[in-house]
Amino acid sequence: MALAITSTKFDAGGPIPPIYTCDGNDVSPPLAWSGVPAGSKGLALIVDDPDAPDPAAPRRTWAHWVLYNIPPDAAGLEQGARQLPAGTQEGTNDWKRTGYGGPCPPIGRHRYFFKLYALDAMLPDLKEATKQQLEGAMAGHVLEQAELMGTYHRS
């Protein structure tokens, strides 16, 4: 069984409900995963938006959430994810803070990718690593990757 990530609150490719955005409560959606490969020592999750600031002329990928060293036996994250699985470490998003920052596009319909990585090693304490620092630390350790994409357009 391949690694997979899902949410009970939006379908793959579908709209992300406003509660999970800056227009709502700005809490993380519930996430579940399955098919973590044997030999996984930890998981990492990166949520990002490759359409920033304008999908018609994207200039950068905006990191919304950076997590690593999620235990491989964790089955997902609850809505709002206030209690992360023991040992999980948080990196810094592009708002220069830890934690989830929901969709808040300035213009157009953006795509948001929830990327889950199964790693063959626990990562060292990267402190409040950026997305780029985490990706560098994961290089050569990714056993499998899964992603869930949702969209959001501000009214």
Are 37 and 146 in contact by the 8 Å Cβ rule? The answer is: no
Q: Which CATH superfamily is domain 4-8+17-152 in?
A: PEBP-like (3.90.280.10)
Spell out the domain ranges in the chain. 4-8+17-152
List pLDDT tens digits, range 54-83: 999 999 999 999 999 999 999 999 999 989
pLDDT exceeds cutoff 90 at 8: yes
**Angstrom distance (rounded) from CA 149 to CA 111:** 7
Are 105 and 85 in contact by the 8 Å Cβ rule? The answer is: no
Q: How confident is the model at residue 11 (pLDDT cuts 50, 70, 90)?
A: very high
pTM recorded for the entire structure: 0.97
Q: For residue 155, how many other CB atoms are within 10 A of its CB?
A: 4
Q: How confident is the model at residue 36 (pLDDT cuts 50, 70, 90)?
A: very high
DSSP, res 18: G
